[in-house]
Structures are given as structure tokens and as C-alpha cells.
Chains A and B, each alone.
Chain A
Amino acid sequence: MKRILSFAAICALSSPVLAQEDHSQMDHSKMDHGEKEQVDHSDHGVPPKPSKPPESAGSGPPNAADSIWGKEAMQPSRDALYNEHGNMKLFWFQGDRLEHRARDGKDGYLWDVQGYYGGDRDKLWFKSEGEGSFGEEIEQAEVQALWSHAIGPFFDLQAGIRQDFHGPDRTHLVVGAQGVAPYFLEIDVATFLSNKGDLTARIEGEYDQRLTQKLILQPRAEINLSAQDIPELEIGSGIDSIEAGIRLRYEITPEFGPYVGIEQEWKLGGSRDFAIADGEDASVTNYVVGVRVWF
């Protein structure tokens, strides 16, 4: 029962994001094309005119220059011309959160980086997150390698592999979506299926509220979900944990913005029980200092 509920939760939370894109795709119907043309013509106050070029306009690839300079000379520059105008590939790296976390007990650290290489539609996307307390074994560390494909103007579908580097060895299949929701809400939703058959999900959202051109208040939330108890990882089914934080960033340049903030973590349900049984706090407040960088 709990399992079904958490699935529902995943769907409910992720569907508005995806549904929006689906909707716009669905709108792509061409049925009223004829009527539209009429409207256009009436706009000009002239009777409808054909829109197709006459046969004497010719067909096939443009080749006028070939007859002057020769096809051999033209072809490489023609390929370059097409390639240069729209086919640009880029590398981008962002350290979204690189921070020191002060809290009761030992202070900790956290990294949350991502980046990609690719063009407008398809990219190789990588992500890495990890955290721990100074002087202790790392609590959590993972790397994801994803193929990211644009499915709408604002969202990418992402699929690939996640490898964990903490605790028991785990590899996951990843399927998710990342992009910008209305109100410029940056959303990253992913579901993970591990090599042990465990199904989990993560929903992250952050938002940049510009106070001035350089001072930015960034609320951020993350929810981790699990479809089942995973005792080895001390995760209970349902909502595993929630993080909610707010960071105040000063962008010295758009690429470099140090910040301070506060973040609250709660473990819930089964995960909470696991934590209490271990003598850990199920609720932790972190005072963070860090930097957001990209290039």
C-alpha cells in the first residue's frame, strides 16, 4: 500500500512539469491551416495567392556557386557554413553548491555539481553530489552520467547511470527530467532503479529571486522518496527525507557567487526510525557558507 502511495506521490509531483510539455506538443495540430491562410490573405486585402514556387524556380540543393567555382571547392565551405550556423557544441560546468556546513556535532561539507557537453537538443550530462562530516567516513557520494534530450522548449528528458561511492555498492538506472518550470523554477526530477531492484526518486527545486542585480535569494527544496524499505541503506519506504534551505548569494560576477544560508533536513517515516535507532538526529539544521561557480 505504502509502495503504491509513494509512486503516486512521484507521479503527482513530476507530472505537472511533464504534462506541460506534453500539452504543448499535443497542441501541434495542423488542421486549421487552410483557414489560417484565408485570414492572412484577407489581411492584405488581396485574393488568395499560391504560396508554392512555380516549377521554374527549380529544385534540389543550392548549387549556383558550383558552376562558377566548382563543386569540389564549394563543398567543404558549404558544409562548414551549415555547421557553423546552429550546430554549436558546448561544454558547461557548474558547481551549484560547494559548501561548508556548520551544525551540532561535527561540521560537514557538501558538493553538488553538474555539467554537460553537447548541442541544443542532445547533451551528455553529468552530475555529482556528496556530503559528509569532517573526520568521518563519507556519508553519501554519487556520480551520474546521463543522455539529455530536449523534449520541449524548457525541459530535457534525462536517462543514464548513477554510481554510488558510499556504503554498499550500488549502481542505478536513472530516468528523469530537468528544466525550467513556470516562474523560472528550476526543477530536477529523477527516478532510480538500483541493481538490487530498489526504486527511489528525488525531486529538487530551486528558485533565484533577484533582490538586486547581484544579490540573489535562493530558496531550495529537495525530497527523497523510496518505494520500499532498504535497511542496508537505512532508508524507509515513503518519504525518506526532506531538505529545505535558503541561501543568500552575492554574484561578484555571474560566474562566481559566494553565499551564506541555512538548511534544514528531516528524516521521515522509516528513515527517521533508522536514524533514531542509530542515535542520530532525525532533524538537522545546517548553517552553510559556500560558493556557486560555473564556466
Chain B
Amino acid sequence: MMKSNISLSRRQMIGSLAALSATSGLSMPAWSKGKMSHSNHGAFKQGSEVLTGPMVHLNVGEGSFSTSGRVGHAIGLNGSIPGLLIRLQEGTKAKLMVHNMLKEDSSVHWHGLLLPFQFDGVPGLSFPGIKPGGQFTAKFDVRQSGTYWYHSHSGLQEQSGHYGPIIIDPEGKDPVEYDREHVILLSEFTPMHPHKIMKRLKVAEGYFNRQKTATFDDYDMSGEERLMWGRMRMMPTDIADVSAPAYTYMINGHSAADGLELPYEPGERIRLRFINGSAMTFFNIRIPGLPLTIVQADGQNVQPTEVDEFQIGIAETYDVIVTPKKSGAFALVAESMDRSGMAQATLTSQTGQRANFPELRDPPLLSMVDMGHGGMMEGGHDGHGGGGHSGHGAMDAKPMDHSKMDHSKMNHGAMEKPEPAAMDHDMRGMKMRDTSRLPDTVEVGPGIDMVAMNPQDRMGYPGLGLNNVPHRVLNYKMLRSLEMDHDRRPPDREMELHLTGNMERYMWSFDGKKYSSVKDNPIRFAYNERVRVKLVNDTMMAHPIHLHGVFFELVNGQGHHQPKKHTVIVQPGSTATFDVTTDEPGDWAFHCHLLYHMHAGMMQTVSVAFPEDVR
């Protein structure tokens, strides 16, 4: 049994490193004993220490990592995976120093932090990268608070363990009251080299999926439906590109088998800071028996919302308050979206007490809605949108689908007067790849295998497989910022960006152009523009899209309380829209945070011009 070693009582604030280490029952990491992990091939410690700002040293080194019987090469920080918790204070000057002990270039991106672009940590974009043996210092004013994280932006190092949490305490009184806090950093460990994973994704579609449809499977699908999917050369089980056959899911570097314990005292308000630091995994989070009060999303305070489960996309963070009244043990379940595995921790008032963990639920399936036929039919397979419990399902929130369908502007040739009933049973009239629907900013080619026919805004959708669960689930439309209006201006202009891909060839891009072919042609913004960006997902996968350097506001119907985020999930075959004020000048990365999608080309440069007086 192990106790969380990034758990802190607020009353005590930060204890000594030695004390924290002692509770973990593991040896001190190399760095804390004054021994640098230079070319350290020793084993990485699971879990991390706390290092408080303003001055922080991070040592990136390689070594081995093991959990649940899986052992492999890893990259860690200061001798552990995840890297140490960096704790900063709003209103101070931070000085974060990164030492690269690897034999290759490295970098650290401070995910969600507002800082001058040259310290953002993307090699080739914000700085030249850190050479082997080299060092880099990011110096900046801390002008925000909340839960964030950091990770490598070099190659596929993030998959190997190069990530860690950041907490910034607010300058004044924290609007979130809590007695105790735990960081819950979700990630995966794989003994397989990330380049090998990339190759397998490229050459063998569905390589990591052991939940495919088959003659003898348990999926509730008619033969006709199965044929339809086959005809389209698509798999309804394409939900996670990489899953449990390769991954061990972890909380704070601990697999389920490690029995991670998070202590609490009955009656305490416990703040759980969830960070999805995984490379490829959407997690569904729940603690059966405890309602979850969402108080922060992507480091930005939101009005408290009580749910029983929520989905967290890669790179997102959510702060949650739980208040267990009695002593006992609660199961903190982080189930992968494809339900091939889960990470676990026990929230316990008594050391050694283990909670009962639920079984993995049945894997969900994609539906016609995920193919961009959203407005064309009622619900879809698997009861998409039909779920009465969520109350915020995309389809529930869009009762105008039919009127839209008949709208002359939405006239789709052969689809002129569709009969929804017939549609459910005959998809022959549907074109999977009608490229005439794409604006001329999209380059049509082999990299696009699908065009969403009638993509709907699905920010009210709780995530795949959560639309029909018998309890309350979070969705983006429920997020309401604590403070009013970050920028009252209506958008000066609008742009549309298409998320494009080819599952079979494993090509991923924005507007049909891979980063390697766009090169020096960035998305440009003037200084301090107010822009509405509509992301149209022409693929059947959910993409967590991350914009560096600024926060954008989700256009989620909350008016003057649109929530600020740094990462937004765009549901399959659907749209998501945000407003952004481009007041952080410089070149910023903009990409899908599915690591292998980004590596395949789903990335762009966003250039925000400097204000006139600076130029």
C-alpha cells in the first residue's frame, strides 16, 4: 500500500521534502540527495515530490520505470514519474530552470501558463530547444492561479514520462475553500517505445484495439449496421488509438495494482486537482458514493456544479470538491474512454482500507452522429442524445434539428426531403466524403477520409459512452465562469478550421494540411483582435485541441459567463466554437493534444502580431 505523495494538508501547507518522501516509503530521488541524474539509467521513482517556487530546478533524465509488471525505458524529471509538483504563487516572479540530461534535445512546455512566448517551450517555435547537457531558464511574472501542468514538447518524450503538475496559489483569498487537497495526475505507462507505437498506428489500423467488432462479439448491432460500417471502411470501435494492450493507466505514477491511497478526515472539504497528463487517453472520472462539485476547469474558476461523473480530455484539468461526511474508503475510478482499462486510487480515512472498485463498463460504440450526420437523424446507435439522464445531451439541446434539416440553406442535394425514419435504416444516400462541403481553405487529398455532412455543435455532449449513464455527467454547456466577461467585445471576425484525418493511413491535419506541409504559413491574428473560431471535426475521433499562450472562451450559451479554457474537446463529426482575444503577442503552437495525432501533423503555428508601439 502506498500513500499519495502529492497530497497536502492545507493547514500544514508544504511539509519538508524529507517528510513527504518518508510517507511514500520509497527512497529519496537521486536529485534530492544532491546527486544529479546525469545519464542516469537507474529506476525512476513512482510519484513525485513538491518543489515550491519561485525558483525551480528540473532535471530531465532517462532511466527505467516499472509498474504492474511492465518495465521499460522512460524519461523522468528529478528522478521520478511524474515530475515534481511545481507550486507557484500568483503575483510573484517565477524562475524555472530546466537541465537536459538526455542524449537528445528536450524542452518543457508550461501548459496553460500565461508567459512571454519565448519561454513557452516549443522547440522550433518559441525557442531553439535545449541541447543535451544544456540548460534553459523561463523567467516570467506569475499572473494567474489554478491547476496546470508541464510536459516535453520534443518528439514523443511526453509518452515516456516527461510531465508533471503545477499549482499556482492565488494572490488573494482563494474562492475555492478546502481543507485538504490531492493532485490526481492521470497518465499512461508503456514499455513500448513511442516510435514503435507510432509505426504500428501508421501501418496497422486498429493495432491496439482488442474490442473490435467480430462475428462473435457482444455488441448490440444489427447485421445491417455492421455492413454499413464496413461499406464506409470505418470501425465503430475506433475510440482510442492506443489502449490497455499497450498502456497501464496511472494516477500520480501508480497503476491500479499499486493500491494508491489518498487520505482524508471525515467532514473535510477535499479539493481534487485532476490533470490529464496522458498522451492518448480520455478518462471518465467518478467516485461512486460521492458527488463531485466542479469548481475549476483548465485552471479557471467556474461556478460550482455538482455531477456524478465527468470526462476529461488529454491536457485538460478539472478541480473538484468532494466532502465525505463519514469515515470509510471511496473508489476513485478513472476509466479510459474505450473502457479497456482504468487507473484507481482509494480515498480513505483509514490507512490500508481498500475501496471496492467497479468493473469496467461495456465499451461504447460510435454512431452516425459521430460521423457528422448529427442533424440528420434522431439519436443514433447506442442511444446517442436519447439519454434522459444527462439532460444535457447534444440532441436534447438541439431540438431544432429537423427544422434545420429542412432549411433551404442546409439543402444537401439528394437529401432534400429526408424522412428520418427511413434514414435510420438506410444510409445509402449518405455521402461519407462530399468534399464540396469544405471551404476552399481546406486542401482535399488522401489525408481526408471523411467530411462531416451536417456537423452540429455538440458542446452539450458529455463524451462518448456517457450520454446514457444513469447519473449526472458534466458537459461543456454546464461550465459557467465564476467571474463575468473577460472581454465584452463581440467578435471582430470569424474563422472556420477543419480537423481532418485519414484513419486507415493514420494521417491527421488541420484543413487537410499536415504541419510538415504547411510549414511557414501560420494562422495570423492582429494584436488584440477578438475572433470567433469554429472548429469543425471531419473525423470520427474526439480531438482535444490546445492553443498555447492564451485562454479562449467556449461559446457555450453562458453569455457573460463563457468559461475560459486552454484545451477544448471537439466531438467526432461535430463542431465546437470559441472566442479568443489575441492579446498575447508572439508565435504559439496550436495542436491536437493526442500526442500521435500531433506527431502525424495535426498542428499549426498561430502568430499573434506585436502591438504597434512594440514593433
Contacts and interface: CB of A to CB of B under 8 A. Distances in A.
Contact of B493 (A50, A69, A120): A50
A196 interface: no
B507 interface: yes
B515 interface: yes
Nearest to B433: A24
B505 interface: yes
Contact of A62 (B213, B434, B522, B526): B522
A65 B198 contact: no
Best-surrounded residue of B105, B491, B524 (most CB of chain A within 10 A): B524
A85 B516 contact: yes
Given A80-B124, A150-B505, A184-B230, A120 B446 contact: yes
Contact of B492 (A37, A49, A78, A81): A49
A46 B490 contact: yes
B436 A28 contact: yes
Q: Which applies to chain B's interface (DSSP): helix, strand, loop or mixed?
A: loop
B230 to A, nearest CB: 4
B31 interface: no
A85 B603 contact: yes
Contacts of B155: 84
B106 to A, nearest CB: 12
A40 B436 contact: no
B227 A77 contact: no
Contacts of B105: 77
B231 A65 contact: no
B124 A37 contact: no
Interface string A217-246: 000000000000000000000000000000
Interface in A43-87: 43-44, 46, 49-65, 68-69, 73-74, 76-87
B552 to A, nearest CB: 15
Contacts of B517: 86
Best-surrounded residue of B199, B433, B504 (most CB of chain A within 10 A): B433
A150 B409 contact: no
Interface stretch (B125-133, B167-175, B263-271): B125-133
B1 interface: no
A212 B217 CA distance: 7
Nearest to A121: B446
Contact of A150 (B434, B446, B515): B446
B448 interface: yes
Given A54-B526, A120-B507, A154 B496 contact: no
B231 A153 contact: no
A77 B128 contact: yes
Nearest to B447: A120
B194 to A, nearest CB: 12
Interface in B108-126: 117-118, 122-126
Interface in A179-220: 180-184, 209-213
A241 B117 CA distance: 66
B534 A210 contact: no
Contacts of B204: 254, 294
A51 B524 CA distance: 11
Contact-size category for B: 35 or more
Contacts of B534: 40, 44
A153 B519 contact: no
Interface of A: 24-25, 27-33, 35-44, 46, 49-65, 68-69, 73-74, 76-88, 90, 92, 120-121, 150-154, 180-184, 209-213, 254, 294
B601 A77 contact: no
A65 B587 contact: yes
Interface string B86-123: 00000000000000000001000000000001100011
24 contacts: A44-B532, A51-B494, A54-B526, A56-B527, A56-B612, A57-B607, A58-B607, A59-B524, A62-B587, A64-B117, A64-B118, A65-B117, A65-B586, A81-B125, A83-B516, A85-B598, A86-B507, A87-B601, A153-B504, A153-B505, A183-B231, A211-B215, A211-B216, A212-B214
Interface stretch (B437-445, B469-477, B481-489): B437-445
A40 B214 CA distance: 40
B449 A154 contact: yes
B4 interface: no
Given A85-B600, A86-B603, 13 more contacts: A58-B524, A58-B526, A65-B125, A69-B127, A84-B516, A85-B599, A85-B603, A86-B509, A121-B445, A150-B505, A183-B233, A211-B215, A294-B204
Best-surrounded residue of B200, B207, B507 (most CB of chain A within 10 A): B507
B427 to A, nearest CB: 12
B178 interface: no
Contact of B127 (A33, A52, A65): A65
B436 A32 contact: yes
B380 to A, nearest CB: 21
Nearest to A181: B233
A294 B231 CA distance: 26
A39 B232 CA distance: 27
Contacts, number: 223
Given A64-B587, A213-B210, A213-B212, A151 B532 contact: no
A79 B124 contact: yes
Nearest to B198: A88
A153 B448 contact: yes
Contacts of A59: 524
A209 B215 CA distance: 8
Contacts of A62: 125, 520, 522, 587, 605, 607
Contact of B436 (A29, A90, A121): A29
B397 to A, nearest CB: 14
B392 interface: no
Contact of A86 (B439, B445, B515, B605): B515
Interface in B380-411: 409-410
A49 B515 contact: no
Contacts of A28: 435-436, 444
B202 interface: yes
A54 B529 contact: yes
Interface in B570-615: 577, 585-587, 598-601, 603, 605, 607, 609-610, 612
Given A58-B609, A153-B446, A27 B409 contact: no
Contacts of B605: 62
Best-surrounded residue of B127, B233, B440, B509 (most CB of chain A within 10 A): B233
A90 B491 CA distance: 44
B449 to A, nearest CB: 4
Nearest to B129: A77
A31 B599 CA distance: 33
B3 interface: no
B525 interface: yes
B257 interface: no
Given A64-B607, A120-B447, A183-B230, A53 B124 contact: no
Contact of B118 (A46, A69, A213, A254): A69
Contacts of A52: 493
B514 interface: yes
Contacts of B514: 85-87, 120
B495 interface: yes
